[in-house]
Structure 1
Amino acid sequence: MAIILGDNQYGKAESRLVRIYRDSPRHEIRDLNVTTALRGPFEPAYLAGDQSNVLPTDTQKNTAYAFAKSKGVEAIETFGLELARHFVGDVSPVTGARIEIEEYAWERAVVNGAEHDHTWLRKGPEIRTAAITVDASGEHVVGGLKELVILKSTGSEFAGFLKDEYTTLGETNDRVMATALKAQWRFTSTAVDWDAVYADVKRIMVREFATLQSLALQQTLWHMGKAVLEAHDEIAEVRLAAPNKHHFAYDLSPYGMDNPNEVFWAADRPYGLIEAQILREGAAPAGDAWRVSAGLA
């Protein structure tokens, strides 16, 4: 029976990169976490320790920092494309590159009623992400966000579910619904206003979460993804993962008190995990767009 080496890639994970623009008295900041991964004929490195085709991971890290200066950091999708195109186009024998980026947002400190030129406070609520893949099948960009913690105090139900002898959960027509949303969307083009689309996709998802009378978190995810695809022809599919951050009404009856959905126990774990892929029918193939590296994006 033969034993063979399957899919492989290698790179530098989680290079923390901060780019500050100091061209005027009012500085600008971009704060990234960058992972690079290269694909190609690297079997000799695995099978025999032959490094002759291996661009060191340290070099990949250095390239990211050098590009932050020479190319600049605007939209993280653009920065990822610059890196991936360089590795595939300029470094032989690399045939494919995967770039995953997290971006941490900052907001300006307010001092004496005015925004300060060079001081910031770490901003939430979510982390913006991008995953860029360049290989023989083309250029693939996946935008996204994660850790978008969102809660509504009503407008959510959960009833009529399957029950068996182990079911203890009661039905409810009025519950708190909360999650820490992870959302990713695959583009069909690289001619995109990345920042504008990101802002609009987030706006749509928050709107759908807030306004839908939800019978299940599954239904909410479907409406979020569907609304994004209806609004953005340049997006082929949306993938969503939503841990159900349970809030259970606390029993105050031992203290002679009623609790009409006002005081809750916010459960840490275990939690329901709801996932969905919403696709545009006939969308272009994804290629390796979803083949992860460090899994940042």
Structure 2
Amino acid sequence: MGIVMGPNQYGKSECRIVTVNRDSSRHSIKDLNVSTSLRGDFDETHHTGDNAKVLPTDTQKNTVYGLAKEQSVGEIEDFAMRLGRHFVDTQPPVTGARILIDEYSWERIPVGGAGHDHSFARSSDEKRTTAVTIDGSETHVVSGLKDLVVLKSTGSEFWGYPKDRFTTLAETDDRILATAVTARWRYLSTDLDWAKSFEAVREILLETFATTHSYALQQSLYAMGKAVLEKRPEVAEVRMSLPNKHHFLVDLDRFGLDNNNEVFFAADRPYGLIEGTVTRDDVDPAPAAWYSLPEF
């Protein structure tokens, strides 16, 4: 029986970097979490410990900071492509690279009716994301967002499901529907106005969640992905993960009080988790590796 080294990669995870643009008195900031992974001819280091072809992960970390200084970070998709292409083009053993970036959102602190020039407040837990995969001469971009918390106070139902001896959940034709959206979408091009496309996709996701009368979170997921593909031709597919942030009606009968869908207990766990991909039928599916680690 032969034994061989299978798919592998290595890199530096979660390099935290904050940049300040001081070109004028009105500063701007970028707050990123950057992870690098390199793929290529690394069999010898696995077999014998020979590191002749292994670019240290510390060097990869320093490259993140160095390239951020040499050129402004700009849009995270562009920065990720610069990083990935740098590793592939400067290190002969490296045939592919994968760069993951989360961008944290900050807003200017309002002072005197306007945003302060150099003071900021973290706006939410929501993060903008990108995953850029360099495979030889090819570049693939998957962008998205995560931890976008949304809630509908009505316009959601859940009934008609199978019931057995373990079923206790009551059917409802009026419930709170809440989730924390993680969405990733694959682009068909690498030459785009990334910020404009991101804002447009985010707006479509939010508007569709708000306006869809939902009979199931699965239905909302499909409607949101479908709307993005109908309105944004640059997007090939949308993958979403939607945890159902359950809100249970509190029983106030024992206090002699009616509860007409007004007082709820917000449970953090366990929770339902709805996941799915909405895709065009005329494009090839993307490898799982373009979306999330640790898959190769």
TM-score, length-scaled by structure 2: 0.96
Deviation at 1:247, TM superposition (A): 0.2
The 8 Å contact of residues 179 and 243 in structure 2, kept in 1 or not, is answered as yes
How far apart, in 1, do the equivalents of 2:142 and 2:224 lie?
17
Amino acid at match of 1:43: D
1:15 aligned residue: 15
The 8 Å contact of residues 127 and 146 in structure 2, kept in 1 or not, is answered as yes
SS of residue in 1 equivalent to 2:225: helix
SS of residue in 1 equivalent to 2:290: coil
2:126 aligned residue: 126
Amino acid at match of 1:231: K
How far apart, in 2, do the equivalents of 1:165 and 1:276 lie?
29
SS of residue in 1 equivalent to 2:79: helix
How far apart, in 1, do the equivalents of 2:291 and 2:208 lie?
29
Q: What is the correspondence of 1:109-188 to structure 2 with a 5 Å cutoff?
A: 109-136=109-136, 138-188=138-188
SS of residue in 2 equivalent to 1:174: coil
2:192 aligned residue: 192
Gaps of 5+ in 1: none
1:44 aligned residue: 44
Deviations 1:38-60 (A, max 9, x none): 00011111121110000000111
Q: What count of residue pairs does the alignment treat as equivalent? A: 295
How far apart, in 2, do the equivalents of 1:180 and 1:246 lie?
11
1:279 matched to 2:279? The reply is yes
Q: Percent identity?
A: 56
| Mean Cα deviation higher: 118-127 or 258-267 | 118-127
Deviations 1:20-71 (A, max 9, x none): 0111111110100000000001111112111000000011111110111112
Deviations 1:168-209 (A, max 9, x none): 111000000000110000001101110001101110011111
How far apart, in 2, do the equivalents of 1:134 and 1:194 lie?
18
Amino acid at match of 1:246: H
How far apart, in 1, do the equivalents of 2:138 and 2:23 lie?
36
How far apart, in 2, do the equivalents of 1:290 and 1:238 lie?
12
How far apart, in 2, do the equivalents of 1:49 and 1:219 lie?
51
TM-score, length-scaled by structure 1: 0.96
SS of residue in 2 equivalent to 1:180: strand
2:24 aligned residue: 24
How far apart, in 2, do the equivalents of 1:285 and 1:218 lie?
20
The 8 Å contact of residues 142 and 291 in structure 2, kept in 1 or not, is answered as no
How far apart, in 1, do the equivalents of 2:293 and 2:164 lie?
41
SS of residue in 1 equivalent to 2:167: coil
Q: CA RMSD in A?
A: 1.4
Q: What is the correspondence of 1:35-74 to structure 2 with a 5 Å cutoff?
A: 35-74=35-74
